Structure 1
């Protein structure tokens, strides 16, 4: 963590000025040379400390500038090497994205999937964790629900949304939820897909509803023998990685980065695992062999290519 000494310098300057004023007032009113000399000594020491802090601040700023340059070079390098590393890895794969964090994801994720040869068939965004406030009675009536418990309703909506993504049979339900601003729809529904990416993680604890939103949807797709991949960005306040891993699905916890996107592509290509930079990750990337390919990692496969616990 970079320390900014500017506040310390400002404080010392204020003290220095106060002492200077004190010297002038003390000399004028008391005429006491001893008091004036003592104040001058204190002022001299503070001036020395101020100069030391200035030098430290300059050194820290120089280090920060150097790190920023290094970071920019690293990002440029990653941006240039990512396309050839993912090219053709997912040719012909059709992918559905389900976003349950409500705050969006970066376009470069879709771009990376496209560079790998995959097609993103649909992007479904669950808004505010299917918050039923102001919608419950209408949904019960329009959807003919026989249940009234909020959690049961949300789980039902989650499962049926997943069914609609895959089969296209729930278009009326999806449209009703979209009109109520409970979901956002984009793409083609009811077309064959080969994998599902869940984008989780949250900045708001109230939106963490993996047990009633993510789990029912993940369970549905796994039951249909579709591989599921759970991802999130590095800086989320509330991570979903542990929750996703309980479902034995591959995870990537830094999907906004080039390494994270590469790991996701490799996982979908048949190298399941838990990748990223957080404690829940096992490694940053699948291991590469000496010929530039990717060899199988230590993680085995469970249902539909998902990693074993």
Structure 2
């Protein structure tokens, strides 16, 4: 057995250590530790206040810049698209407010929105490729200008373009539109009526594209990176197909390599505008549409691949031949 004196010595040692800790904590160590903690708190508080001031200053500068750009748009856009019909094509997930801002600026330029179309997930999801292939074989009999050797998805994209750029009362247009909007595997949704043949088509991509496969399969799991990449490429191909058939502008985000707009820019067709959802983007879209109708391709914005921050005034009204009368003036 362990001697009782051993236990007594151990207990005394524990209590002595505890007493020394209390004395030191309440005495000399208390002040030094407290001062150190107080100093750190003050430093963090000063840093927080400094960052808040910088953020407020940056936000104020951004607000001033946006106000200046909006004012420039109000002066430079009116009349540039008078009499022009513009179709809007929304990719899945496109922001309603961003689309509304674009439509407002196009209206300020004098344009009329001839169609509002949203691509469903079936337009690009891999599970529906067989259906799109069967549909493409039917559509090719009604669509003109389809290049030899076009893929099934290129034919479907050409069908969308055909519907938007031609007389909505044309018999073939009605057939193609009916096929694209068939309820069983609907590829596009049309809001309201298509009122006229479009002079240009604006594709609006979301700020962040995340594929949703639930339209194609009730028990679909989260899409893989390969699926997202495949669909991103298909949307880029659809834009390129439309841009090869007439004036087309794509609007979206161009920050990450996987962004839809970067894929569209890589096709080197049509015109593109980044920073979707900002006042600058909406105004640049109207500038880009006018440039496209006049025959010039532009790459506008401040993100990856952009050539210039703000577009230039181009008179592309339907009252005469488009002319870049003010193209030498840089509105930036």
Identify whether the pair has TM-score above 0.5, normalized to the shorter chain.
yes
Q: CA offsets per residue over residues 5-39 of structure 1, 9 Å max, x none?
A: xxxxxxxxxxxxxxxxxxxx999723775564134
Structure 2 counterpart of 1:219: 241
Structure 1 counterpart of 2:326: 294
Structure 2 counterpart of 1:85: 76
TM-score, length basis structure 1: 0.69
Q: CA offsets per residue over residues 97-151 of structure 1, 9 Å max, x none?
A: 22234333421110110110011101221122525678678778889869xxxx9
In 2, Cα distance between the equivalents of 1:267 and 1:217?
A: 15
Contact 1:286 1:296 in 2 (8 A): no
Q: Which structure has more RCO (C-alpha within 8 Å, separation ≥ 6)?
A: 2
Structure 2 counterpart of 1:262: 283
In 2, Cα distance between the equivalents of 1:287 and 1:80?
A: 14
Shift of 1:56: 2.2
In 1, Cα distance between the equivalents of 2:263 and 2:153?
A: 21
Contact 1:101 1:207 in 2 (8 A): no
- The structure 2 residue matched to 1:30, chosen from 4, 9, 20, is 20
Correspondence 1:69 to 2:60: yes
After TM superposition, the structure 1 stretch with the greater mean CA deviation from structure 2, 259-268 or 137-146, is 137-146
SS at match of 1:279: coil
Structure 1 counterpart of 2:322: none
Correspondence 1:113 to 2:106: yes
In 2, Cα distance between the equivalents of 1:196 and 1:60?
A: 43
* Cα distance change on mapping 1:123 and 1:235 into 2, 3 Å: farther
CA RMSD of aligned residues (A): 3.8
In 1, Cα distance between the equivalents of 2:266 and 2:135?
A: 35
User: 1:126-205 maps to which residues of 2 (within 5 A)?
Assistant: 126-128=119-121, 130-131=123-124, 153-167=152-166, 168=168, 169=173, 170-176=176-182, 180-189=185-194, 191-200=196-205, 202-204=208-210
In 2, Cα distance between the equivalents of 1:126 and 1:200?
A: 10
Over alpha carbons, which structure has the higher Rg?
A: 2
User: 1:219-238 maps to which residues of 2 (within 5 A)?
Assistant: 219-220=241-242, 222-223=244-245, 226-233=246-253, 238=259
